[in-house]
């Protein structure tokens, strides 16, 4: 299993996602960041990770994060995990080939079940 990266400025959101991963048996190699810039530094030397990404963050929003990853030629798979219910955001996410899923917070066991096939590939 490759590394799973959690990027959300809210520590509680990362905690919930990490706990769900642990409950479902995905507790190895999970790294979380509340600062997206620190996550980018961490990702510099990594490829093909699975990233849970929030869109609404103060230092750098999720779109800026995605653009920077793309500009650096990184190949990661992204699950957007956001409080946004906007159809505009959902459609914009489709413009990024790296985005493989768009999920509205809060993440729960039912929503997590949709991710099982993706996590098994990790």
Query: How would residue 115 be classed by pLDDT, with cut points 50, 70 and 90?
Result: confident
Sign of CA dihedral 87, 91, 93, 94: positive
Query: How would residue 122 be classed by pLDDT, with cut points 50, 70 and 90?
Result: low
Over residues 38-64, the mean pLDDT reads 93
Domain ranges within the chain, ordered by starting residue? 23-45+56-85+92-102
> How high is the pLDDT of residue 108?
86
pLDDT at 42 over 60: yes
**Cα separation of 29 and 2, whole Å?**
7
- For 80, the token pair is 């957007």
Q: pLDDT by residue (tens digit) across 25-36?
A: 886 789 999 999
Q: Describe the strand order of the beta sheet including 50-53 as a list of residue ranges.
A: 30-33, 4-7, 50-53, 77-82, 99-104
Query: How would residue 38 be classed by pLDDT, with cut points 50, 70 and 90?
Result: very high
């Amino acid at each position: 299993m490759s590394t799973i990266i959690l990027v959300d400025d809210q520590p509680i959101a990362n905690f919930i996602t990490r706990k769900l991963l642990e409950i479902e048996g995905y507790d190895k190699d999970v790294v979380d960041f509340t600062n997206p810039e620190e996550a980018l530094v961490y990702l510099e030397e990594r490829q093909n990770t699975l990233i849970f990404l929030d869109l609404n963050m103060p230092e750098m929003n999720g779109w800026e994060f995605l653009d920077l990853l793309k500009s650096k030629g990184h190949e990661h798979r992204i699950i957007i995990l956001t409080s946004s219910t906007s159809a505009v955001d959902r459609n914009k996410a489709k413009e990024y080939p790296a985005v493989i899923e768009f999920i509205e917070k809060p993440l729960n066991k039912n929503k997590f079940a949709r991710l099982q096939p993706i996590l098994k590939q990790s």
